[in-house]
Chain A
Amino acid sequence: MTFSPDWLAPTATVIEAGHRDDGISLAARAAALVPALAGHSLAVGPGSARAMAVAFLAAAEAGVPLSLVRAGQPLEATASLVLDPDLTLRPGQPIDTVGGFQLLLRTSGTTGEPKIVRRAASDLFGRVVSGSATRWLLTYEPTSFAGLQVLFTALGTPGSVLVAAPGAPIGALADLARAESVEAISGTPTFWRALLVALGNRDLPLRLVTLGGETAEQPVLDRLAQRFPGARLRHIYATTEAGAVFAVQDGRAGFPAAWLDGEQAELRITDGVLQVRRARAWIDTGDLVERSDDRVYFAGRRDAMIKIAGTQVVPEEVERYLLAEPGVADVAVRARPNPITGALLEAEIVPDGTVAPDLLLARLRERVLQLPPTSRPRRMAIATSVASAAGKKARGLVG
């Protein structure tokens, strides 16, 4: 028995770990699993985009819930069957199965416990943009919402290719992108800064450069425009609650303030927080924004604020400040628990190689003196990378 959902392009291909599966092959592998799924729920982990695709196809055909598990989160506890990266099924935990096919996703939980979000499959298909055949590199976890969107965009477009190596270090991804002649990449700003360092001056002729998942700052946009002059550059704003909201295509950080104006506007600012209109309701995004002339800029998450010596501090603002120093490729600012002030900021600095590390640290120590005392990172260290497993910088308390 086999089947072929109408959204799946038979000629779209997933390349991963030496496997090359087109849409027909993925559907056939899923069909082989369907009989075993009856009466169960299915979970899939972050290790394989191929397994993610097969799990989706199989669960949809069998009409059972599919739990998508992120790195570091328990896999077996979420469903009665688990699909491993080698496409074999094994038992999970007995769980009452309800409600037919639906997706259970977990947010990355940069602040606190991960949140489980239910999505109907139609939420995904609604966003798949049909375009021309494109060779994509997957940089997100396959089981994240961003990862799914890239996977579905590739699998829904005839002739497209998705190149995946989940969990691979940035150097390996850079080599893979070149070896497979990748044309389009969507990644977090943290990913992009790391990729620039990993690529050096080697050629990578991209057509599409997309940033998402974190605020895209002007320096990284400028650097990407310079490095990939033939590419369309866009940054995407999406939230767990409201889904994909907008894409900015003009190469500038933030978005045009004109989008806030007029009766048809779908965005507004209330108490410094961006709200999005969905049907007749305004959804609070929790993202702090600042309007400056014709532009609106993101100023961090309201809930990522850290209280230091009684003052609210936004680590992303401090990161932006440090990133402006020549010689800095990437920065992660985190809170470290402190018995005196509750927390203190500390910074990890990734040099771009143009300034000696000791000199760079000395200049940064000078630079932070211009910040309010509570916003100064009190410990700064050189690091080779600041990306966490999820591709986002960990912002919780460390230590």
Chain B
Amino acid sequence: MRTATESRDVLALIFEETARILQEKGAKVPALNPEIAFLGGSMDFDSLDLATLIVALEERTGADPFRSGFKDFTTVSELASLYEAK
């Protein structure tokens, strides 16, 4: 059983790694919230950054929700739910 604490942990991890990736490439880090969209939104995030985020999340959580193929997601909370469903 996953708990509400773990859910917040995944969100916090995504915020942390997203901010790190943006900082490393010298982009502005916006105020992050669960409904922010990764691509095509207010963030200077591209497909390679997103790919990098997924590698980082696999390292931190040990989970790879995309092992069986690509899954649809747009926002931070949608990505978080993929890790929580594992």
Contacts and interface: CB of A to CB of B under 8 A. Distances in A.
The yes or no verdict on A and B being binding partners is: yes
Interface of A: 308-309, 336, 338-341, 344, 346, 365, 369, 373-374, 376, 378-379
Interface in B28-60: 46-48, 50-52, 54-56, 59
Contacts of A338: 51, 54-55
Contact of A339 (B24, B26, B56, B69): B69
Interface residues of B, number: 17
Contacts of A378: 48, 51-52, 55
User: Which of A308, A373, A374 is packed against the most chain B CB atoms within 10 Å?
Assistant: A373
A339 B54 contact: yes
A309 B24 contact: no
Nearest to B25: A369
Contacts of A374: 48
Given A339-B66, A339-B69, A339-B70, A309 B55 contact: no
A344 B51 contact: yes
Q: Is the interface of A mostly helix, strand, loop or mixed?
A: mixed
Nearest to B58: A399
B62 to A, nearest CB: 13
Contacts of A308: 48
Contacts of B59: 379
Contact of B48 (A309, A339, A365): A309
A341 B51 contact: yes
User: Which of B47, B51, B66 is packed against the most chain A CB atoms within 10 Å?
Assistant: B51
A336 B55 contact: yes
A344 B46 CA distance: 13
Contact of B47 (A341, A346, A369): A341
Identify the 5 closest CB pairs spanning chains A and B, nearest first: A339-B66, A340-B51, A378-B52, A341-B51, A338-B51
Contacts of A344: 48, 51-52, 55
A106 to B, nearest CB: 31
A338 B46 CA distance: 14
B48 A341 contact: yes
A230 to B, nearest CB: 46
A344 B54 CA distance: 11
A308 B50 CA distance: 13
